[in-house]
Amino acid sequence: MLRVGINGYGTIGKRVADAVRKQPDMEVQGVGKRSPDYVAVNADERDYAVYAADESRADGFREIGIDLAGTVDDLVAESDVIVDATPSGVGAENRPLYERHETPALFQGGEDATVAEVSFNARANYEEAEDADYVRVVSCNTTGLSRFLAPLHENYGVEKARVTLVRRGGDPDQTGRGPINDAVPDPVSIPSHHGPDVQTVFPELDIDTVGLKVPTTMMHVHSVNVTLEERPDDVEDVTELYRNEDRVLTIPDYAGIDGAGTLKDLAQDAGRPRGDIWENCLWEESLTLQGQDLYCMQAIHQEADVVPENVDALRALEGELSSAESRAITNETLGIDLTHLHGRTDLTADRRTPDESLADD
């Protein structure tokens, strides 16, 4: 059993802890927590061993009845590998601690790429992490773009990708973030950091990205335009390509899923923990071919999509299973399978024009 320590038990860390706990080949050694707050109580209630960020904070945990397992220093010493899910920039500060204990570590996408030897996406470059000690799981948007671009790149070649990212203002627990009544260029500079970040996974890929922030906490939405090197025969071929991707939920036209709200409702109805959507959500109706150009829209649940990627990155570091093997285990244990949406209809019927349907009747 791989003993996994999770340092930083916030939006990403708590989800990664729950996902690791579901794996047959891993266990959670414990979670590193800085503040003795409701999230710490939640970790304790879930029977995770809690380690305080440092000794000076220990009394605060004891005062709320949390029997600490030690400090983060102890957690790093007692774990085979650390998932660092601390806020952006703190991971880089923590790296010397992991090095001191010779404990390999995963970092998150808020860190600069230089924090690790490899920037990781399970679908695109799993094998590159096999000889690494330090791996960065790329950010939610970069994960979503990597999953989207990998099959296109392999099947048709990507001449140029252009993406507008409509970014959620903050996560649901980030009460102080906005905007609350605005649409804000974010970042103001063009290209946004996402394009260069995608290139840490696909070094040769030509991609430009721009971002703006809007008042929602639910999901990011990408408006994508890709100029392909080779034109697909039909847009149906592209739709089929994505229907066969394990972490892309293609949304059939009949389903009435018209935005992030209905996607969240779908996830909650499916009994997903915290209403999490681990897949890219790609609207089939938006897939459009014009000459060599493919257009589409996809939604990315920022709190969730990197979670299975962290699990796979842990296995990639171990170097014992292939990407396909690891993803299959992760998908099954987490329940990444909303394909029932497609079992309900003749998929080809979806895309017929009303005239064609009438002719059949």
Ligand X SMILES: O=C(OP(=O)(O)O)[C@H](O)COP(=O)(O)O
Instruction: Determine whether the annotation assigns residue 110 to a binding site.
Output: yes
Nearer to ligand X, 71 or 142 (CB): 142
Could you give the residue numbers annotated as active site? 140
Contact partner at residue 141 from ligand X, ligand NAI, none, CB < 5 to 8 Å by partner kind = ligand X
112 binds ligand NAI (CB under 6 A): no
Q: Which residues is 160 bridged to in the sheet?
A: 227
7 is in an annotated binding site: no
Contact predicate 35/64, CB 8 Å: no
Q: Among all chains, which residue has been given the structure tokens 């709190």?
A: 303
Q: Among 4, 5, 6, 9, which residue interacts with ligand NAI (rule: CB under 6 A)?
A: 9
Which of ligand NAI, ligand X, none has residue 326 at its interface (CB below 5 to 8 Å by kind)? none
Tell me, residue by residue from 127 to 146, as one string, x for binding to ligand X by CB under 6 A and - for no binding: ------------xxxx----
- Candidates 32, 169, 195, 308; binder of ligand NAI (CB under 6 A) is 32
85 binds ligand NAI per the rule CB under 6 A: yes
Least distance (Å) between residue 107 CB and ligand NAI: 7
Asked if 109 is part of the footprint of ligand X (rule: CB under 6 A), the reply reads: yes
Asked if residue 85 lies in contact with residue 7, where contact means CB atoms within 8 angstroms, the answer is yes
The site for ligand NAI, by CB under 6 A, has a size of 26
- Tell which one of 2, 3, 18, 35 touches ligand NAI (CB under 6 A): 35
Cα 90 versus chain centre, distance = 19
Query: Is 90 among the residues that bind ligand NAI (CB under 6 A)?
Result: yes
Minimum CB distance to ligand X, residue 302 (Å): 4
Whose structure tokens read 């973030």?
177
Residue 8 interacts, among ligand NAI, ligand X, none and using kind-specific CB cut-offs from 5 to 8 Å, with: ligand NAI
- Is residue 23 at the binding interface for ligand X, with CB under 6 A as the rule? no
Distance CA 212, CA 187 (A): 7
Q: Which residues contact 142 (CB under 8 A, 6 or more apart)?
A: 109, 119, 121, 194, 197, 198, 200, 201
Is residue 152 at the binding interface for ligand NAI, with CB under 6 A as the rule?
A: no
Binding map of ligand NAI across residues 267-306, x = CB under 6 A, - = no contact: -----------------------------------xx--x
Among all residues, whose Cβ is closest to ligand NAI? 10
Question: Given the complex with ligand X, which of 68 and 147 has the nearer CB atom?
Answer: 147
Interface of this chain with ligand NAI, residues 337 to 356, rule: CB under 6 A: none
Give 6 or 75: the residue with its C-beta nearer to ligand X. 6
Candidate list 28, 43, 53, 277; residue touching ligand NAI; CB under 6 A: 53
The footprint of ligand NAI (CB under 6 A) covers 7-13, 32, 34-35, 53, 85-88, 90, 108-111, 139-140, 171, 302-303, 306
The footprint of ligand X (CB under 6 A) covers 109, 139-142, 167, 194, 302
Binding site per annotation, positions for NAD(+): 11-12, 110, 168, 302
